[in-house]
Every structure is written in structure tokens, then in C-alpha cells.
Amino acid sequence: MMKPIADNAPLKELDDWDDFVAIRYQQGKSEEDFRNYKADANRTVTEFYRQNHAYQTLDFVRSKKAEYCSLKRGKKSIWEMAEYLNTLVDDSDPDTDLTQTEHLLQTAEAIRKDGHPRWFVLAGLVHDLGKVLCLYGESQWAVVGDTFPVGCAYSDQIIFPEFFPANADSAVPEYQTEYGIYGSHCGLDNVHLSFGHDEYIYQVTRKYLPEEAGYMLRYHSFYPAHRHGAYRHLMNDNDERMFEWVRKFNPYDLYSKGRERPNMQEIRPYYQDLVSEFFPDKIDW
Ligand code: FE
Ligand code: FE
């Protein structure tokens, strides 16, 4: 008999989902390759999506937002949080796997090399700090994964749609119409997406960063919208404009993996400067 996968943590590491997404969205894929995603999804990734789709209900999202988005978990600097997040990678292979901070620095460095504005580089540096939700005790399916609106019909552009019937919201007719609880072009700020690291880091940093960066952080995992064009009936004109930036950000998140390790000693002064340009010493988490 095959060993059952631990129910709350199917992924070996949180990065396994990012690796899967990077393969899924690598350049030069045909439409057919996209439809064939199951070929790239191993057993743990599939189990991860099963849990994510089954448990991310509107009630769940509302309760997690109430729990975390009021930022009552104390004050920490960006650097303290980055160090804390690094404690997440204990099981990884130090020769091949990047630490969480290395992924953040690599993303930021790729953005900097392309000559983008400083706030864009900074968005790269902080975009995954919300993964500390795992260290707060949240299950992987509540921290990472392609995000999608709850409280309205699931788009067929969401990966593994066959797992949605197990979601309690599937039995609520009001949540299964095209608009559900939302109005036409009501704006994404009024739409609840499945909960995860994106929403949390957006709420933590929103006071300090420009709106464009806020969109990058809040919607970087919203693949059904930024890669597949779904849910435009809920987006307003400002969302449409701002999604240009979300799309600009995405390649740096996907393709920064596997490049050389950033030289922390060398680049640290630049990033220390950058962080203190936008953030006070400690912020609420
Ligand atoms: Fe992320
Ligand atoms: Fe990332």
C-alpha cells in the first residue's frame, strides 16, 4: 500500500508549488500543453490543489482576513521578517535549493538589472514575505496556490476545476452564478480571492508602497486573471490598467529561479538603502 500523504502538508516544501507554476508557465508552451497540466503535476502537487480547492470557501477567506489583515501579530522590520521566513527551509537541499530570502533577492536583482523603478525592485524583494503564514501555523493550501475569487462561479481557467465540487460553496447557489455576491465590474478590491501570502503581504505593505506595487503583491498568484484573462467582468478600469504591472512583474517571479545565488555581502547595502527609503524601521505584521 502506498504511504498516505500527510493531510495538512502535501508539498515537501512550499516552493514545490512555485516550481510547478514555473514549469506550467515557461515560455513557448502551446495551448495543448496548458490543457495537459496534469502531466507536470506530481502526486503531492495534485493533492495540494485538491485541498486548496476544497477548503478555500468564502467563510474561510473572511475569517482569515479578519485574523491576519488587522496586523495584530507585532512589529518587525522587513529584514527580521526575511530572516524569520528563512527558517521555513530546514528540509531543503542547501546545494540546489535557494532559501526564501535568496528567491526574493534574485527576483529583485532581475528587476533591478532591467532598469525598473526602485519601488518595483522593492516589490520583488518583499513579494513572498507573506509566506510567514506557514510559520503562524497555516496549512500550505491557505498560504500558496493560484488564487481565485470565492463567492461567485469558478472560472474554467482555474487549474484542476474537478476539485471544486468538494468545496462547500459549490452547494450554495448564490455563490455559483457568474457574478455571485458581486456586482458587474465592481472592482477587485471588493472581491474576495482565496486566501494566501499575496493578500497578507499586500495588507502589511499597502501604506508604504505605490499602488502599482500593491497590485503586484496582491495579485501575483492570480493566474486565472493575469495569465488567462478570466474574471474581467469583475474588474474595473483601474484594475485593467494596474494589471499591466502585475503582468510585468510575473516573469521575474517565474524565471528568477535557478539562476546564480545572489551575493548577499555585495548587494546588501543597496537593499538596506532601498528598504529604508520606503519603510520605517519596524512595521505591523
Ligand atoms: Fe508568491
Ligand atoms: Fe515568488
Residues 6+ apart with CB under 8 A from 284: 71, 72, 73, 74, 75, 204
CA distance 173 to 199: 26
pLDDT tens per residue across span 76-97: 999 999 999 998 865 656 666 7
Mean pLDDT of the residues in the chain: 92
**Per-residue confidence (pLDDT) for residue 41, from 0 to 100:** 84
Share of the chain above pLDDT 70, in %: 93
Distance from the alpha carbon of residue 181 to the mean position of ligand 1, in angstroms = 27
CA pair distance 271, 233, nearest whole angstrom: 39
- In a 3-state reduction of DSSP, which class is residue 199? helix
Q: Distance from the CA of 103 to the center of ligand 1, in angstroms?
A: 10
The three cell numbers of residue 84 are 524569520
Find the 219 Cα to ligand 1 centroid distance in Å. Answer: 9
Q: What share of the chain is helix, strand, coil (3-state, %, to 5)?
A: 55, 0, 40
482576513: which residue's cell? 65
Cell numbers standing for residue 219: 495579485
Band the pLDDT of 257: cuts 50, 70, 90.
Answer: low
Overall average pLDDT of the 60-70 stretch: 98
Better pLDDT: 35 or 53: 53
pLDDT at res. 91: 60
User: What is the distance in A from the centroid of ligand 1 to the CA of 174?
Assistant: 30
What's the mean pLDDT in 127-147? Answer: 97
pLDDT band at residue 74, thresholds of 50, 70 and 90? very high
pLDDT of residue 96: 65
> What are 174-218's pLDDT values in tens digits?
999 999 999 999 999 999 999 999 999 999 999 999 999 999 999
Nearest ligand to the CA of 144 is 1
User: Near ion ligand 1, which residues have CB within 5 Å?
Assistant: 128
pLDDT digit string (tens) for 148-178? 999 999 999 999 999 999 999 999 999 999 9
- Rounded Cα distance between 82 and 99, Å, is 10
pLDDT band at 259 (very low <50, low <70, confident <90, very high): low
Using the mean position of ligand 1's atoms as its centre, give its distance from the Cα of residue 217 in Å: 8
Compute the distance between CA of residue 94 and CA of residue 91 in angstroms, rounded to an integer.
9
Ligand with the closest atom to the CA of 98: 2
Determine the Cα–Cα distance for residues 175 and 151; give it in Å rounded to an integer. 5
Q: Which of 66-75, 162-171, 191-200, 246-255 has the lowest mean pLDDT?
A: 246-255
31 band by pLDDT with thresholds 50, 70 and 90: confident
CB atoms inside a 10 Å sphere around CB 259 = 11
